[in-house]
């Protein structure tokens, strides 16, 4: 029995918190090297060693995972390359 090939790149964004404490998740799976090549610049631009920020009441917390990399960010940390990556995943994964 043949199995579908594992994706080359998986990027997942999980947003929790906010006033209602809801959890939302978006994900992209790049199945080919060509598709992954379009996502890698966004992934590589992010400072993955960013320490978690201080959470604010009713603020969102984002967990961003790209293959074996992960970061947890408070909403106010979501700018620059982080914002670009999260926005692209949310747009594509919606």
**Domain tally for the chain?**
1
Q: Looking at residue 63, what DSSP letter applies?
A: E
Q: What is the pLDDT of residues 52-63, one digit of tens each?
A: 878 787 889 999
Contact in structure between 93 and 26 (CB atoms under 8 Å): yes
What whole-number distance in Å separates Cα of residue 75 and Cα of residue 20? 15
pLDDT at 24: 94
pLDDT at 93: 75
3 lies in some domain: no
**Does some domain include residue 76?**
yes
Per the CB < 8 A criterion, the answer to whether 89 and 69 are in contact is no
pTM flag (> 0.85): yes
pLDDT tens for the chain, 94 residues long, are 444 567 899 999 999 988 777 899 999 999 999 999 999 999 999 999 988 878 787 889 999 999 999 999 999 999 999 999 999 999 997 6
Domain that holds residue 58: 9-93
1 within domain boundaries = no
Cα separation, 47 vs 77, in Å, equals 11
Rg (CA), the chain: 14
Residue 65 in any domain: the answer is yes
């Amino acid at each position: 029995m043949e199995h579908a090939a594992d994706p080359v790149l998986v990027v997942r964004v999980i947003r929790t918190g906010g006033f209602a404490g809801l959890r939302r998740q978006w994900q992209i799976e790049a199945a080919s090297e060509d598709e992954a090549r379009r996502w890698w610049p966004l992934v590589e631009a992010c400072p993955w060693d960013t320490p978690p920020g201080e959470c604010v009441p009713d603020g969102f917390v984002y967990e961003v995972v790209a293959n074996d990399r992960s970061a947890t960010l408070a909403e106010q940390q979501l700018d620059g390359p982080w914002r670009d990556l999260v926005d692209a995943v949310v747009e594509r994964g919606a």
